[in-house]
Amino acid sequence: MEIIILATPAEIGELAARKVARTIQQKPTAVVGLATGSSPLAIYAELADQVRHRALSVAGVRAFALDEYVGLPVEHPQSYASVIRREVTEPLGLDPAHVFVPDGCAKDLEAACQRYDAAIAAAGGVDIQILGIGANGHIGFNEPTSSLSSRTRLKTLALQTRADNARFFDRPDDVPTHCVTQGLGTIMDAREVVLVAQGTEKAPAIASAVEGPVSARCPGSVLQFHPHATLILDEAAAAQLTLRDYYHHTYANKPDWQRF
Ligand code: GLP
């Protein structure tokens, strides 16, 4: 994994957006994997800015979200379908017909999950996957002890995740108990992964994911097996990494031809 530690959330968003933009410029029909949560918002804002200034065209882009709550109607403001529309589809001017979110209200959830994986495969697979990480190490909604080779499926949300996400709902009990999420195996199929994290509450999860053993206890640690994963962090999220100096040194001395 490449670990890049930057000073501010704005710098993190700018650099991660540059990676996504480069993928789209090289392949205008790129498939982009979208994450919800507050961590990637600066990426979307930066990409929207580039589109506005005609520095980037997303006309051919297709996008797949990671996850969705079960039982929350699509029109609910906190459904991930709504969040993705508000934060990504509309600001970037993506064609809504090219943006896919798992169906958390399907009668047959298992079949819907299988169709979702099949749709990603039919689109040619994800070229670049944007990720955040939960305080408990989850990526997507793959909670601790998720199978490292799981595919899109139904999951029960961890109590900590429900508490963390309660801020988006009127009452803690309104947070759904279940979700559908791309599996860790699904996420690992992406050709490139960019994970962004900010703040001290993410420090233990980042330390486990980067320097801990690969273990379902910290689902993010599966990225150690990914051939092209970049983690872009602020100092607070990187605070518990023991090799912090090495990561700074590596990035400062990155050969020009390797920069993006
Ligand atoms: C959510 C999402 C994840 C996200 C994580 C962190 O529950 N399912 O995709 O990465 O939690 O969210 P945030 O970036 O707001 O801290």
Cβ of 129 less than 6 Å from ligand 1: no
Residues whose CB is less than 8 angstroms from the CB of residue 180 and which lie 6 or more positions away in sequence, other chains included: 67, 68, 70, 102, 103, 104, 109, 112, 113, 116, 141, 152, 153, 154, 155
pLDDT at 192: 98
Look at residue 5 and give its three-state secondary structure.
Answer: strand
pLDDT at 54: 94
Atom of ligand 1 nearest to the CA of 35: 9
Contact 217, 145 (CB under 8 A): yes
Q: Could you report the per-residue pLDDT of 16-30, keeping only the tens digit for each?
A: 999 999 999 999 999
Q: Whose CA is nearest to atom 1 of ligand 1?
A: 37
Cβ of 36 less than 6 Å from ligand 1: yes
Query: Distance between CA atoms of 114 and 112, rounded to whole angstroms?
Result: 5
With the most atoms of ligand 1 within 8 angstroms of its CB, the residue from 12, 38, 39, 87 to mutate is 39
pLDDT at 212: 98
Predicted TM-score (pTM) of the model is 0.97
Q: Which are the catalytic amino acids?
A: 67, 136, 138, 143
CA of 253 to the centre of ligand 1 (A): 31
Look at residue 93 and give its three-state secondary structure.
Answer: coil
CA of 109 to the centre of ligand 1 (A): 22
Q: Which two tokens stand for residue 77?
A: 């403001």
